[in-house]
Amino acid sequence: MSGGNPPADLAAPVAVIAERIRARYSNPSRKAYTYLYWVRDVVTLTDLIPTPEAVIAAWVDEGAGFVPTAAEAAVSAGHAAAAIKPHQAAPSRLTPHQRKQMMARAIAFTATQTGENEVTVQLVSRSLGFFPKGQREVTERWLRTVDGTWYSAYRSDQDEDDA
């Protein structure tokens, strides 16, 4: 994806992969509030919450499932959630809403087409209440089968070192 602009064609490989990532994190069994950002470049992944200018697309789940959200509103919601620290209260005093806030996560990812049938995803998932603890970083290789189906062919850094 050149220049980090969203593809005009929603069937473009990076858009398909971005939708698959959104679907992965929209599982109804997830209880934490989630702020998901598709961002323009890997540099943005160092920020807890990206800047609105870096966001290609965003989705916010504050208890009602993912809702596509304008970049400025999603960034604002992420910053507001990061400022809430319910875990500083006694666990027995937390409401269900506060428990969801305590587990809130900010997830940012890039999707770069690296070949005709390959997309590389850099993804960082962070706990808003316990940052910098609770951080997970991953690189995924998405490959397209001959019938056009995309799948994650993730290999850990250890696997790559052993290859």
- Of 46-55, 77-86, 150-159, the range with the highest mean pLDDT is 46-55
The domain tally of the chain equals 1
How does pLDDT run across 132-151, given as a tens digit for each residue?
A: 677 889 999 999 999 999 99
Domain carrying residue 59:
2-162
57 vs 65, more confident: 57
Give the predicted TM-score (pTM) of the model.
0.83
The C-alpha torsion from 136 through 46 and 63 to 140, rounded to 10°, is -50
Using CA atoms, how far residue 160 sits from 26, 140, 155, in Å, is 29, 12, 7
Q: What is the pLDDT of residues 14-45, one digit of tens each?
A: 999 999 999 998 877 777 789 999 999 877 78
